[in-house]
Amino acid sequence: MTTGPRQTPDVAVSEELFAPVAKGVELCYQTFGDPDDEPLLLVMGLGGPMTWWDPQLCRLLAARGFYVIRYDNRDTGRSSRVGARVGRTALVRAFAGGRTRPPYTLDDLAEDALGLLDHLGLESAHIVGVSMGGMIVQTMAIAQPKRVRSLTSIMSTTGKRTVGWQHPALLPSLLANRGAGREAYVKASAALWKLIGSPGFPQTDEQVAARAEETYDRGVSPEGVVRQMLAILHQPNRGPRLRSVTVPTLVVHGLADKMVHVSGGRATAAAVPGAELLLIEGMGHDMPEPLFETFAAGIRRTADRARARG
């Protein structure tokens, strides 16, 4: 396994742009590389803005022949906020398996991603998703298979309740009131990343704080995170439908992931015919810099399988 990034390649990087994708929903996005290269859509997870796709990783992917597109999901970063209010009582009820009505679903988030491809004039793309983003790209591949060239699902799960569970110790942190203001957000984020980050590839306190500060400054929405969590909690078990996915697929999971247990990755790979499963020792629920080359090589390898099919 390669565990060290090369020097960051020099590639074209766009300004942050905006795409209307649904009624009342506009996504903020950015591109890396040559528009004539193979399109690669990057989909981030719960509460994560597109900047959590590190620019260095995006440049590595562009240098490998991809036209890289990263974006903020609705309710994240600079993209549109959905106005529906959801109380934490509803969230706790959903955690317990009770009935609630989410303002939107993973299907809606998948439609947002497809709408961005429409806006860019792209009939299809390679798609990569992390955590909730993995759930979104799996949903895209099931719903619109002709629009997906290859699929990479990272630290995600199938939606089946008996796999990909969270470590019980995380629940208080996920439901805690993070307080108001930049300092409170940074402090709470640092505490959470200490719990879920990669023990084999630890980040410094300064790195964690810098990412939290950048995230806060782009725009955070505690209510938006709750709405996204409800969408996750109401996801169906995609396992049976994933058996219809025929595009080349890579499933990546850390063996030290406390947010989404590795059983979720194993179940995803088992459900998709011919999927490659890449398990990484010491990786938690983040994408540490020493693994950028590993991620880039795996995504390129999977895309090459699709290209070989013609």
| Catalytic (active-site) positions | 131, 257, 285
216 backbone dihedrals φ, ψ, rounded to 5°? -60, -45
Which of left, alpha, beta for 38 (phi over 0: left; psi -120 to 50: alpha)?
beta
Which of left, alpha, beta for 59 (phi over 0: left; psi -120 to 50: alpha)?
alpha
At residue 118's C-alpha, the angle toward residues 113 and 119, to 5°, is 95
> First-to-last CA distance in the chain?
28
Short-list 227, 56, 50, 195, CA closest to 128: 50
Cα–Cα distance measured from residue 171 to residue 124, given in angstroms and rounded to the nearest whole number: 37
Answer yes or no: are the C-beta atoms of 288 and 277 closer than 8 Å: no
At position 301, the amino acid (one-letter code) is: R
Residue with tokens 């303002």, as numbered in its chain: 103
Instruction: In the chain, count H helices and then E strands.
Output: 11, 8
